[in-house]
Structure 1
Amino acid sequence: MALKHADPGQVIDLTPYGAALAQKQSIALFKSEDLEVMRLVLLAGSAMPSHDVAGEITIQCLEGSIEISADGATHVLYPGHLMYLAGRAPHALFALEDASVLVTVALKRS
């Protein structure tokens, strides 16, 4: 069964999960022709290996903390921090503690 994505104009609750974070899963919030938005849940010690996407992306930490390796540097994002990456920029994520992040991807059309 396909997941239900948000409809245009629908409010999406991004309140931190708090104590329930460890029981949550990553979810796609919506995808349109030009944009995709996901809420990723990364438990402490978990990693997303180096990868890239065609379009520009932003990664915003909602709770917890994550380490992002990109452009030859490593940065730590805490709640309220946002990072922008150019399209095709290789990047890796590592959860320093249980975290949820909002990822926005500008989709490149062929």
Structure 2
Amino acid sequence: MALAHAKPGEVIGLRDEQVGATRTAALVKTSSFEAVRLGVQAGREIPWHHVPKELTLFCISGDVVLRLETREIQLRAGDWVFLEGGARHALSAHVDSTLLLTIML
């Protein structure tokens, strides 16, 4: 079952037991930001890419490595990171992982 886009003031559960550990779904998109629940299976990789605008990643559960041009960052449950617009990055999961991706538009 797909997650519906959030309406203002609506609570949407993002925990794995509510949605499934590897489910990816767009949560909301407005003129100023987009929020996506990103599920990444163990051993999977999101290849090198960039997003034109600033973004944040919050690790809800799991263990991932965020690769940047100059370094690697390990994200575990509760970790949050900000990336500048245009920063090339890739992501790989050691275990089934869930992240909240927020992109500024």
The normalised TM-score by structure 1 is: 0.86
Other structure's SS at 1:44 match:
coil
2:16 aligned counterpart, secondary structure: coil
User: Offset at 1:94?
Assistant: 0.2
Correspondence for 2:84:
86
Aligned partner (choices 51, 62, 72) of residue 74 of structure 1: 72
Within the alignment, does 1:53 sit opposite 2:54 as a pair? no
| Cα distance in structure 2, aligned partners of 1:104 and 1:54 | 13
User: What's the C-alpha RMSD, in Å, of the aligned pairs?
Assistant: 1.8
Aligned with 1:17: secondary structure? helix
Equivalent residue, structure 2, for 1:4: 4
Unaligned runs of 5+ in 2: none
Sequence identity (%): 35
- State the aligned residue count: 103
Q: What TM-score, normalized to structure 2?
A: 0.90
Give the unaligned 5+ runs of structure 1. none
| Distance of 1:100 and 1:28 partners within structure 2 | 13
Q: Offset at 1:44?
A: 0.5
